[in-house]
Amino acid sequence: MMKIKRCRMFSRSFNHAILASCITAFASGCMVILPTSSISTNQEPEKIVERIEYNANRCWSTLHQPIHSDIVVNTYTIQNGYKLTASRKEGSTPQYPFLHVTVTHSTYGSEVSVREGEFNLGTDLNLSDDVNRWINGDNSC
């Protein structure tokens, strides 16, 4: 009888631990990043990344989110191009990136692929639409 009680208690605490870790993973920004667009352009990758980074810092940092989080934009040099990421920032800690923009050299200019996930649980900002607009020369927010 005592062994059965211990087993049930262990099972309950194990289930609570699983539930707590799932909630923590979702709350910390762990999400699925899905491809949203792929564009070929005759523009140089350096110019595209410069325009996206400038407009992202100008437009996205002024978004008024109900949870008072800011967006941090980072640019990295990768083999054959650049990668730009956008992360949710809480306090002084950047979270996992929810937007990935990869710009690579091609024979006629650049290939741009955009992948986006949720900004926060259930909050989809559709920032890939902004990226596509900026690539096409419209610098509006």
Kindly report, residue by residue over 10-21, the tens digit of the pLDDT.
455 545 555 444
Kindly report, residue by residue over 19-48, the tens digit of the pLDDT.
444 454 454 445 566 667 788 999 999 999
Entry pTM: 0.68
Angstrom distance (rounded) from CA 70 to CA 50: 20
Distances (CA, A) of 132 to 56, 101, 105, 128: 12, 10, 17, 6
58: domain CATH number is 3.30.310
Both 15 and 72 in a single domain?
A: no
Angstrom distance (rounded) from CA 133 to CA 136: 5
Which residue has tokens 């926060």? 120
**Mean pLDDT, the chain, whole residue set:** 75
> Residues 83, 98: contact at Cβ < 8 Å?
no
Which residue has tokens 């990226």? 131
Q: Which domain holds residue 92?
A: 31-135
